[in-house]
Chain A
Amino acid sequence: MDPLSYLARLWHNLTHRRKVERELDQEMTAYLALLADESSPRDARLETGGIQQLKEQVREVKAGFFMQTILQDLRYGWRMLRRSPTFTLVAILALALGIGATTTIFSIVYGVLLRPLPYPAGDRIAFVFNHFAPQNAEHGTLSIADYLDWKRGNHSFESAELYRQSLFDVTGAKDPEQVQGAYVTAGFFSMLRVQPMMGRTFLPGEDAGNAPGVAVISETWWRSALGADPQILGRKLNLNGVPSTVVGIMPSSFGFPRPTYKVWTNVRLIPPTRRGPFGMRGLGRLKPGVTFAQAQLDTNAIAHHIELENPKTYHRMTMPVLPLRDGLVGNVRAALLAFLAAVLVLLAIAAVNVACLLLARATSREKEIALRVSLGAASGRLIRQLLTESLLLSMLGGAAGCVLAYLGVAALRAWNPGNLPRIEEVRLDSVALAFAVVVSALTGILFGLAPAFQTGRDKLASSLREGGRGGTARAGRRLQALLVMGELALALILVTSAGLLIRSFVLLGQVNSGAQAPPENVLSMKISPIASKYRNSDQIIPFYKRVLERAQATPGVLYAGISDSLPPDRQYDYDTFVIQGQQLPPGEINPAVTCPIVSPDYFRTLGIPLVRGRFFTEHDTENAPPVVIISESMARRYFPNENPLGRRLKASGPDLNGTPFMEIVGVVGGVRYTGLDDQPADAYYQPYGQTMYYPRTNLVVRSAGPAAGLASSLRRTVRDLDPDTVISDVTTLEEALGASVVGPRFRTMLLGGFALCALLLAAIGIYGVIAYSVAQRTQEIGIRMALGAPRSNVIGQVVTEGLRLAIAGTVLGVAGAFLATRLLSSLLFAVKATDALTFAIGPLILIAVALLASFLPACRAALVDPVIALRHE
């Protein structure tokens, strides 16, 4: 067939629909008339069959028929939707909620877990960590010595690189500023296969021990802090006191490991004298054809070798190889997948809800459908019509959902709840939109299928005769009841999951950080003196002493102290230790514990109770005997049934043999330094007057009332003493406590929100079913009341119907929740996944909601006037 003429016909048929129809009608009329002339009109009709069916058969072969019927179906569907605006609005809202929430969560999951990394062949890059006893950090860091051993023994990676993240105090630019950055090896950038937008990256050999300082900076920082200075290349910045020449600028699209990083400078691989300090992360690109598993075998062999050579430092050492994405994303995978599962459940509930609404409507449309069948509509055509209607509905819902998702993603990005990694890569892009379209279409088909099949099964004659009160109505009601049961079960799964998270969060909020001072009365700020100004403790200790004196003298301050670690999750350093006279199995050492360096008043400032002995005093200086204070839990663990006061300990390590033991002079209450969800840390405290140089610490003060107002005067105090000192992270303990649980709070709020939506939808669903069943049985109820049934009886009967649904749904839901909440266990705190209280309350809430939702139609049933009800048709 000539395609051009076909297109012409198509155009003609679509644009001259009326004319084509009229001509078809005339042709048929003429044919019938001619036939009637030959025989009788009755025979003519018999021979022809239904004239409407005949016309329909002709229409089906005409060009554009399919398109035309779709347009027709759409037009008709649109008219149907407009005829019942309440139904349409409720359905679109439910779908928009479901699809919008699903698309938002999908955008996050996709952006964080699935979107390709912004490095060419980024899935071939891996972190290399250090795991050994007794530290037992799953992704522990390397020392330079470990790195050099890995580099020497490496067979699996194209090159062995490393980086160490660090805060840099930057001077020599404008105002002193503290920025996030990293020390990296010379091959770091070429391993990632990224190019600078200006200048160059590092050259081979620039990570040598004696190499001059060079720096690559981020475009963002160059524009914001350095005024987009075009002469920046070749200029020198002081990075932690080291003059470093700026050699290149990375485009803002680059940010390793995270976009907040502003500067990368060369690490100096000075031949190490010991295994430490740690803090280095290995990074490499797999050679072609090498798998992660093979690389793992390779690094483990190297680790074994290192362990044999350093039996005092390492036990059971491995070097875990972790794909870059897993390392960047960290432990949010479980939470994100839980969100996605939860939101899909919510979507399913929304879809079931709309299916119920459609089903109710389909039953009341039985007469219309029967009429259409008798007028020549094929059943396939009818099902298509109904599916078009539900697709139209789901697409409208999907469009509204996309608007919601756009707002949701924008809000989540601005808020960045729970400090999600890679959140800056989350956006509502074509992938997410495609997802929304597919999800909308699938939902539309799914919830449209139920009523469509119901219609397909209709018996034409019985429908016409019974006027919508026949067997099909009963079958529809049964299907509807099944759907609502499923919906209730799904809602219960969400309610239970949210309940578990809420219980966890409440328990987490009751956890004491160990600081007895009112959290709002405690204010802390990080102070970072410029390293080049304070080269040793003789210089830094007097400075801190002056800061403390001035802070103490500030009006409103009760106590002032300094500490490099702060509760609830700001652990600065941890180290292994050895107790004088302790008998350890050969080759074993004590595990690492938190080791804060504090000023005498730190304990009073935070309200950490003294259990026995004494606090530090101003006399615990370099010239006095070294002293140490240990935490209660450490006292209990290492000095059971004995007085730890007077015993002595020190940091362990092969190169620390010369350091003196410190005498334990006090035991203080436990403090959580590694998060509220962790145990109070084993810790030993050293006085700041007796320790080696340390770069930065926290000033912390306590006042009689809320301390937030003290921030500016304290800031001024420090600036007055040394204008180059960088001040950052000004926060009250109350804010810090809140910030430390922002992840759990977000999870709880999100799942709680889903559960609320699910309850609401389930309530609407059960209300719809009961209300519909009441409407169907108005006549029956009228008869019963005319025969003397009391109103309470009628109410009871209707509510029982809802209750039966609710109980069936609950039984299903409890079973489902038992299976589903297991996936949540890693997100729970101090609550078991099968927590009895939650599993008792969830069903109660659900049943209460179901009772409420069926009580309304029950009341309406009871108000039925028997006389009107009997006439009801």
Chain B
Amino acid sequence: MSSPKATNLLQGTLDLLILRALSLEPLHGLGISRRIEQITQGTFQVKPGSLFPALHRMEEAGWLAPSWGESENNRKAKYYRLTAAGRRQAQAETEEWQRISLAMAAALQAT
């Protein structure tokens, strides 16, 4: 098992990535995982052991709403979409992340 520090870091990142992945359209679990791979150009490959707990946690938090639909190959699948609260959260987290990355970039350039 990974150390708690790494998990925490990943968790913050993962939430934002999931929120971004769902910003266009509702997706099911595997879809989210593939979308993240796609938008991060393969940098992040989310394992189901991290993905599903995060999805359910965010659902509990009211950011995601579930709905059952058919997948591209005609299978029943659980789709997640962003709620209004989820959009606000995505907005807030994006700003937060940008602030951090600017600060980090400045810090790295300063030396």
Contact = CB atoms under 8 A, between A and B. Distances in A.
A30 B53 contact: no
Contacts of A5: 61-62
Nearest to B31: A34
A9 B66 CA distance: 13
A6 B60 contact: yes
Interface in A15-44: 23, 26-28, 30-31, 33-35, 37
B76 interface: yes
A48 interface: yes
A48 B62 CA distance: 26
Taking each of A31, A54, A57, which has the highest tally of chain B beta carbons within 10 Å of its own beta carbon? A31
A678 interface: no
A57 B28 contact: no
A54 B29 CA distance: 13
B77 interface: yes
A2 B84 CA distance: 13
A34 B75 contact: yes
A131 to B, nearest CB: 67
A49 interface: yes
A61 B53 contact: yes
A30 B85 CA distance: 27
Given A2-B85, A33-B75, A58 B52 contact: yes
B78 A30 contact: yes
A58 B62 contact: no
B48 interface: yes
B30 interface: yes
B60 A61 contact: yes
Contacts of B53: 57-58, 60-61
A49 B53 CA distance: 14
Contacts of A58: 52-53, 56
Contacts of B52: 27-28, 31, 54, 57-58
Interface in A663-688: none
A9 to B, nearest CB: 5
Given A54-B52, A60-B53, A61-B60, A34 B30 contact: yes
Contacts of A62: 56-57, 60
A381 to B, nearest CB: 14
Contacts of B48: 31, 47-49, 54
B98 interface: no
Contacts, number: 67
B4 interface: no
Given A1-B62, A63-B60, A31 B28 contact: yes
Nearest first, the 3 A-B pairs at minimum CB distance are A61-B57, A27-B78, A30-B77
Nearest to B71: A34
A6 B57 CA distance: 11
18 contacts: A1-B62, A2-B62, A9-B62, A26-B78, A30-B28, A31-B48, A31-B52, A34-B71, A34-B75, A47-B48, A49-B49, A57-B53, A58-B53, A58-B56, A60-B53, A61-B53, A61-B60, A62-B57
Given A49-B48, A58-B53, A31 B29 contact: yes
Taking each of B60, B66, B77, which has the highest tally of chain A beta carbons within 10 Å of its own beta carbon? B60
Given A6-B60, A48-B48, 13 more contacts: A5-B62, A9-B62, A23-B66, A26-B78, A28-B52, A30-B29, A30-B71, A31-B48, A31-B52, A49-B47, A49-B49, A54-B49, A63-B60
A62 B47 CA distance: 19
A34 B78 contact: no
Contact of A35 (B30, B54, B60, B78): B30
B2 interface: no
A58 to B, nearest CB: 5
Contact of B60 (A9, A27, A57): A9
Interface in B71-110: 71, 73, 75-78, 85
A23 B29 CA distance: 13
Given A1-B62, A63-B60, A30 B75 contact: yes
B49 A57 contact: yes
B56 A23 contact: no
Contacts of A63: 60
Contacts of A47: 47-48
A11 to B, nearest CB: 12
Contact of A1 (B56, B61, B77): B61
Contacts of B57: 61-62
A31 B52 CA distance: 10
Contacts of A53: 49
Given A58-B56, A61-B60, A31 B30 contact: yes
A26 B79 CA distance: 12
Contacts of B47: 47, 49
A57 B28 CA distance: 18
A30 to B, nearest CB: 4
A54 B66 CA distance: 19
Contacts of B49: 49, 53-54, 57
Nearest to A8: B62
A318 to B, nearest CB: 67
Contacts of B29: 27, 30-31
Nearest to B62: A5
B64 to A, nearest CB: 12
Interface in A443-476: none
Contacts of B77: 27, 30-31, 34
Contact of B56 (A30, A34, A37, A61): A61
Given A47-B48, A58-B52, A34 B62 contact: no
Contacts of B66: 23
Nearest to A50: B49
B37 to A, nearest CB: 12
B15 to A, nearest CB: 12
B22 to A, nearest CB: 16
Contacts of A34: 28, 30, 71, 73, 75, 77
B78 A23 contact: yes
A31 B60 CA distance: 20
B107 to A, nearest CB: 31
A53 B48 CA distance: 11
A33 B75 CA distance: 8
Interface string B20-64: 000000001110000000000000000111001110110011100
A47 B53 CA distance: 16
A33 to B, nearest CB: 5
Contacts of A9: 60, 62
A31 B34 CA distance: 12
Interface in A277-303: none
Taking each of B49, B52, B85, which has the highest tally of chain A beta carbons within 10 Å of its own beta carbon? B52
Contacts of A23: 66, 78
A593 to B, nearest CB: 81
A1 B83 CA distance: 13
Nearest to B77: A30
A49 B48 CA distance: 9
Nearest to A38: B30
Contacts of A37: 73
A60 B77 CA distance: 22
A5 B28 CA distance: 23
B78 to A, nearest CB: 4
Taking each of A6, A54, A61, A63, which has the highest tally of chain B beta carbons within 10 Å of its own beta carbon? A61
A611 B48 CA distance: 104
Contacts of B85: 2
Nearest to B54: A61
Interface in A540-576: none
A72 to B, nearest CB: 18
